Chain A
Amino acid sequence: MRNIIFVKFGGLLIELISHSSQLILNKDRGVKHFITSATSKKSNYSIHFQVVSSTELSDFKQKFKGEPEENDYINYDWFVSERNGEIALTVDYKDHECIKQIVAFVNSNSKDIRVEIELVNENYPVHIEPLMHPLGSLLMIYLFHWNEGALIHASAVSDNCNGYLFTGVSGIGKSTMARLWQECGAEVLNDDRLILRLIGDDVIVYNNPMPYYNQRALSSSLKKIFLLKQSSQNYIKPLQGVLAYSRVLGNFIQQFYNPQMVHKHLEIVESIINKVSVYEVGFKPDVNIVRLIREMDNDG
């Protein structure tokens, strides 16, 4: 019997199907709160998981090799390869107890994604997180790119239906800012990674399945982006034009390797920036910065 889960995040309905009896898709952890019941609505994507003894990649040309993220909790290498527009996302796990290799085949023209998994021992059933790290992140980068969206390293909150996003270099205070807003009654969407999508005239900010986060699906209409600076005093400075654009751009998560993809990403980011206001904000870690930002809206 096939093991099927429907998940919805970032406005996309995704069907996750295991075609191998020994491969059980885990409904706990990352995807738990994004699971939705089977629906008559057509899925935006179907991800087909299958155990294989090896994956054939000889016709694929390697485009680039990635590195594990800093302080990553698992040991792996990853590669992006391509063959006639089909992209293979390969993760080689170095010391995973169950999985040797996992390869996802994605194509901008197809709603079906094939995921081939080579197990350490094919004879034993294995429970896997369907959007396991780092495959889930890589898949999301491409799927949302093809759906007028992008992922960004940031925290985001929803305050009276206004979405505010806080971004900047690692350690600058994204999580601290989220906590301050939570203390003031706002809802934290996430304090690490968000999806932004252009939907009609709006930019919608969504949380997404992440390991070690126990959150239900959340979203908000994004109104303002704040680039964080540590400062001895609170200030808010509007940014415009190429400066606003280039400073926000560096915080998006992307692994694009050809000029067409890069150009489309730049277009998506431009459309986002055109719909929201961008500010540099220097702040001391106390709730006064929340008041200052709220006053911006009260002042019109």
Chain B
Amino acid sequence: MELSLVYYKNNNFVSKSIGNEKVLVPLTDNVADMNKVYNLNEVGSFIYDCINGSSSLREILSSLIENYEVSEEIAMDDINNFITLMVAKGVLFTKQ
């Protein structure tokens, strides 16, 4: 995983926090598709909130380690899995 990369949110998803978790609703052909929502657990929700088009994955990794007091290895795995899935689903993208 390239930690210097900066990721952006796709505006065609609307997010809604439910406690510490989150749902992402896709706008498909301009219409919200409530049957294809993505559920983010607490960690996924935290990473998603950190993605802002300016923070690098390295910065997000540091925040995750600090907030959840997890090892770098676990935090790296969490970010890697989350980014891979969200990019595949079109939720996140990078310009590099």
| Interfacial chain B residues near A262, Cβ < 8 Å | 14, 25, 27, 32
| Interfacial chain A residues near B35, Cβ < 8 Å | 250
Known: A259-B11, A259-B14. A265 touches B23 (CB 8 A): no
The 0/1 profile, CB within 8 Å of A marked 1, for residues 1-30 of chain B is 000000000010010101101110101011
Binds B, one of A39-47, A200-208, A239-247: A239-247
| Contact B19 A249, beta carbon cutoff 8 Å | no
Residue A63 at the chain B interface, CB threshold 8 Å: yes
| Contact A263 B16, beta carbon cutoff 8 Å | yes
The complex places the Cα of A265 from the Cα of B27 at a distance, in Å, of 13
Main secondary structure of the interface of B (DSSP, over half): strand
Residue B31 at the chain A interface, CB threshold 8 Å: yes
The 0/1 profile, CB within 8 Å of B marked 1, for residues 69-81 of chain A is 0000000000000
The complex places the Cα of A167 from the Cα of B5 at a distance, in Å, of 43
| Contact B29 A64, beta carbon cutoff 8 Å | yes
| Interfacial chain A residues near B32, Cβ < 8 Å | 254, 256-257, 262, 265
The complex places the Cα of A252 from the Cα of B25 at a distance, in Å, of 13
| Contact A242 B34, beta carbon cutoff 8 Å | no
The 0/1 profile, CB within 8 Å of B marked 1, for residues 55-76 of chain A is 0000000011000000000000
The complex places the Cα of A200 from the Cα of B71 at a distance, in Å, of 47
Residue B43 at the chain A interface, CB threshold 8 Å: no
Interface residues of A in 216-270 (CB under 8 A from B): 241-243, 245-246, 249-250, 252, 254-257, 259, 262-263, 265-267, 270
Interface residues of A in 104-119 (CB under 8 A from B): none
Residue B39 at the chain A interface, CB threshold 8 Å: yes
| Contact A266 B30, beta carbon cutoff 8 Å | no
| Interfacial chain B residues near A63, Cβ < 8 Å | 30
Main secondary structure of the interface of A (DSSP, over half): helix
| Contact B23 A245, beta carbon cutoff 8 Å | yes
| Contact A266 B39, beta carbon cutoff 8 Å | no
| Contact B39 A243, beta carbon cutoff 8 Å | yes
| Contact B27 A250, beta carbon cutoff 8 Å | no
Residue B37 at the chain A interface, CB threshold 8 Å: yes
Neighbour of B31 across the interface among A250, A252, A256, A266, CB < 8 A: A256
| Contact A242 B27, beta carbon cutoff 8 Å | no
| Interfacial chain A residues near B39, Cβ < 8 Å | 242-243, 246
| Contact B25 A242, beta carbon cutoff 8 Å | no
Shortest C-beta distance, A243 to chain B (Å), equals 7
Known: A262-B25, A263-B16, A266-B25. A246 touches B37 (CB 8 A): yes
CB-based nearest A residue for B41: A242
| Contact A249 B27, beta carbon cutoff 8 Å | no
CB-based nearest A residue for B11: A259
4 tightest Cβ-Cβ pairs between the two chains A and B: A242-B21, A266-B16, A250-B35, A262-B32
Q: What would 20 A/B residue contacts be, using CB atoms closer than 8 Å?
A: A63-B30, A64-B29, A64-B31, A242-B18, A242-B23, A242-B39, A245-B16, A246-B37, A246-B39, A249-B25, A256-B31, A256-B32, A257-B30, A257-B32, A262-B14, A262-B25, A262-B27, A263-B14, A263-B16, A265-B32
